[in-house]
Amino acid sequence: MSQELEHIWSRVQAQLALVVDESTYRIWLEPLRAVELEHDHLLIEGPEHARRWIRQRFGRTIQASVELVLGPNASVEMIATDAAAGTTESVRPRARIHPRDGGPQTPRTPHVPPPTQTGPLGNPKLTFDQFVIGDCNRLAHAAALTVAEMPAQAYNPLFICGPPGVGKTHLLSSIAILLVAHNPGLTVRCTTGEAFTNAFLGALSGGGTESFKLRFRDVDVLLLDDVQFLERKTKTEEEFFHTFNALHDGGRQIVLSSDRPPHDLEALEDRLRERFEAGLVADVKPPDLATRIAILRKRVQHDHITLADTDALDVLASRISSSVRALEGALIRVVAFSSLTGRALSSELVTEVIDSLYPRGATPATAPRTIAEIQAAACAHFGISPDELVSPARAARIAWPRQLAMYLSRELTDASLPAIGRQFGGRDHSTVLHACRRAASRIASDDACREAVEKLRTSLDSTPT
């Protein structure tokens, strides 16, 4: 390498080091070498086993860095190193690393920070090892595992759908964790429909649309939970449409989850629904009895919970059948009651605790309630009007009934958080989640609040369905 070429390449490498994290740079980009510069055309070489991957994953980043050094007319071509002979072999790439073709080849601005190695992966317990397989989720589990092992080679997009609390988020988290563990060079981003919307709106107001596009389009795998949150958000739907196309056309893996299948997302644009349906749609149903028992056994084993008798889990599984979330929540209540009272975790204790929460014949599975019924019961109990309950008012006499009604709506119905929010004055997902957490905290620490919950449940139980 001539002194001039060496100087140019060192400047390009310095730019590359600014836009990727240190480990990614050392593994993939630092081994590259400049071979020749003719006019504005730079020839670089890299290991044969990684050349295709580097070109596909980092081609646009390399191109943009070279343009900063050589000017806007610069182009790049990559050849492979023949390791056995110690020479280089010219390999005709599918396309030069050049961004002039439009679409996903649009150059990226190197100084914009790239996406992180992974987005938030959530609870570390949400792995494939901790996922219990049953007839209710076998297809979705198999498809998720295939995607994690062979991203963008099998099902793209993968669309996982099912009611709240049945394991959709668990599968998305499992995919992300396995991908990162086995493919450290991949860039994986996990997000939600709400987070995508908030980030996009923030970018619009702050003039950061290019950074936003880089954050969500310059990734190898995008996992987006609760895609139904994009409904009725015209600008965000438009942006996600282009993000989806950029990723899919670039051979990147997309995994989506929703509380409904694509054809039931009626408020979503047709072109988005059509793209969602073009991949594999895998549904997850509420767990059957055998699966519920297996879930409880795995949770007990993982958390080192001591049982007085094994029938305790059978009793719990037979009483709570609406969702995995409700099942695990009931187990937590039973364990807490056992710990606080010093009583062994037995079948009798489980029956006592569950009877206090859901009197026989009134479990979420056997006597489902609607949000409207819960709202009416809350208004009657606290002496407020329906308009006050869903209003923006924050006075304590309104806020607590509203939080409690949201909490019960999540506990006693299959409605998603966004769906609950829509029936409480158009509130968003995060507001409902915050209300549920506040209510749960007050119920756990305040006898009066706990009594209010029991009275509301009793009121709902006595109302014909």
166 shares its domain with 265: yes
- The vertex-258 CA angle with 167 and 421, nearest 5°, equals 100
72 shares its domain with 142: no
Does residue 157 have a cis peptide bond before it, meaning omega lies within 30 degrees of 0?
yes
Q: Is residue 62 part of a domain?
A: yes
Residue 27's domain comprises 3-98
- Contact between 173 and 127 under an 8 Å Cβ cutoff? The reply is yes
Per-residue pLDDT of 51-74, as tens digits, reads: 777 887 788 888 888 887 888 888
Q: Is residue 105 part of a domain?
A: no
- Contact between 50 and 85 under an 8 Å Cβ cutoff? The reply is no
Alpha helix (H) ranges present in 342-393? 347-357, 371-382, 386-389
310 shares its domain with 266: no
293 shares its domain with 268: no
443 shares its domain with 387: yes
Q: Is residue 341 part of a domain?
A: yes
Q: What is the pLDDT of residue 70?
A: 83
138 shares its domain with 225: yes
- Looking up residue 47, the CATH number of its domain turns out to be 3.30.300.180
Q: Is residue 106 part of a domain?
A: no
- Looking up residue 325, the CATH number of its domain turns out to be 1.10.8
Per-residue pLDDT of 399-431, as tens digits, reads: 999 999 998 888 787 777 788 888 999 888 778
Residue in the block written with tokens 């950061």:
208
Token pair belonging to 146: 């295939």
Q: Is residue 366 part of a domain?
A: no
Which of 283, 299, 319 finishes a domain?
283
Which of 83, 98, 113 finishes a domain?
98
186 shares its domain with 211: yes
252 shares its domain with 142: yes
334 shares its domain with 294: yes
- Looking up residue 433, the CATH number of its domain turns out to be 1.10.1750.10
Number of domains in the chain: 4
Q: Is residue 104 part of a domain?
A: no
186 shares its domain with 219: yes
154 shares its domain with 300: no
For the chain, 465 residues long, the average pLDDT of each consecutive 10-residue run is 74 72 70 86 83 79 83 85 40 34 32 39 72 90 92 91 88 90 84 88 85 89 91 89 93 93 87 92 89 89 84 88 83 83 89 75 54 90 91 90 90 79 87 83 76 79 59
302 shares its domain with 272: no
